[in-house]
Amino acid sequence: MINLTKISHIAFAVRSIDEAVSIFQRLFGATVIYGPFTPSDKQHKFILLSVGGIVVELMEPTDDQGFLARFIAKRGEGFNHIGFDVDDIQSASNALKSEGLQIIRERVDYPGLKYLFVHPKSFFGIELHLEEDWRSYSDLETI
């Protein structure tokens, strides 16, 4: 059994982070926690907001052929994934694999930020993001 300790964030795919942040700030009083930041894959950039005590991740494609651009082309803007903190990412990975779930990105051996993503086709159309051992948002700069 996987021990989920909390919902860490909810992520949305958007065409423009600037436009989305502006709307979240005007409507909900959102504040920027971290970012914007472009991970090493250079396919997207993201920003983390605090909205009513919830962390919201807004992601914008930066590569027309990348995973996020394909997601928006197929489904439009909107909900992308939900993130949960777990106490043991390796055990979570093993449990998911033993149930036959497809893991699409995984990094379970790095100190500071360990994570995995479960393909939505193998989990009721929901992309899961499980993570362990966040020390600070600066750990995100290692992805």
Tell me the pLDDT tens digit for each residue of 69-122.
999 999 999 999 999 999 999 999 999 999 999 999 888 666 667 899 999 999
Mean pLDDT on 45-49: 95
Q: Do 78 and 15 form a contact (C-beta atoms < 8 A)?
A: no
Number of helices (H), then strands (E), belonging to the chain: the values are 3, 8
Mean pLDDT on 42-71: 94
**Average per-residue pLDDT for the chain:** 90
Structure confidence at residue 53 as a pLDDT band (50, 70, 90): very high
Whole-prediction pTM value? 0.87
Sequence letter at residue 58? L
Ordered domains of the chain (ranges, CATH): 4-142 (3.10.180.10)
What pLDDT score does 47 carry?
A: 96
Which residue, chain included where needed, has tokens 């919902």? 7
Q: Do 34 and 45 form a contact (C-beta atoms < 8 A)?
A: no
Sequence letter at residue 63? D
Mean pLDDT on 40-66: 93
Taking 70 as the threshold, does the pLDDT of residue 52 lie above it?
yes
Mean pLDDT on 31-38: 92
What pLDDT score does 88 carry?
A: 92
What pLDDT score does 133 carry?
A: 67
Mean pLDDT on 12-39: 96
Taking 60 as the threshold, does the pLDDT of residue 45 lie above it?
yes
What is the pairing mode between strands 114-118 and 128-132? antiparallel
What pLDDT score does 138 carry?
A: 55
